[in-house]
Amino acid sequence: MTPGALPDRLGGAPDGKRALRLWLRLLTCSTAIEQRISQRLRDEFGSTLPRFDMLSALDRAGEAGLTMGEVSRMLMVSNGNVTGLAQRLKADGLIEHIPGADRRVQRVRLTAEGRTRFDAMARAHERWIEGLFAGLSDGEAEQLTTLLDGAKRSIHSAAQEESH
C-alpha cells in the first residue's frame, strides 16, 4: 500500500464487488473528513458539527429564519434532536425565536452574535476543506466532482425506482 493510502477493507475483492468497494471507499473518505472537521470545530471553536450545521442552515435562511420542522428536514435529524440543539444555541445567545401567528410553530434565526460566530466558523471550515483536498489537482477535483455527480444521479434514480 502506498504511503497515505486508505486500506482496502475488502482486501482486493473481485470485480463483482465493485459497487461495494466503491461504497466503502466513499464511506471511508466521508468519515475521515467528518472526523477531521469535527475535531477542528471542537478545538478551535468549542463547537460540534451539528451546531455548525444548524447555524449554517439558519445563515442560508436569512432573517426569515426556519421552523423547527424545516431545520429537522434539512439536517435529516429528528425534531427532538433539533429542539435540544436549538435550546443550547439559544442559551448561548446564537439564535433567537421569532414570534409568529401560530404559537405551535416555532421559527428560529441567527442573532447578530450567532451570525458573527458562524461567519468565523464558516471561513475556517472552508480553509479546512480546501486543505483536505489540496492533494488533488484542479483537473482531478473537477473529474471527481463529475464522477460524484453521476453517482448522485444513479442513487436518486435507484431510490425513485424503489419507491414505485
Sequential pLDDT tens for the chain (164 residues): 455 555 555 555 556 689 999 999 999 999 999 999 999 999 999 999 999 999 999 999 999 999 999 999 999 988 888 999 999 999 999 999 998 777 777 899 999 999 999 999 999 999 999 999 999 999 999 999 999 999 999 999 998 888 87
Model pTM score: 0.81
Task: Say if residues 42 and 52 touch (Cβ distance below 8 Å).
Answer: no
Residue reference for cell 463547537: 47
Four-residue CA torsion sign, 76, 80, 84, 86: positive
**Joined grid coordinates for residue 160:** 425513485
- pLDDT at position 9 is 54
102: which DSSP letter? -
- pLDDT at position 117 is 97
Residue reference for cell 472552508: 126
User: Nearest Cα to 92, choosing from 73, 108, 74, 78?
Assistant: 108
**Joined grid coordinates for residue 147:** 464522477
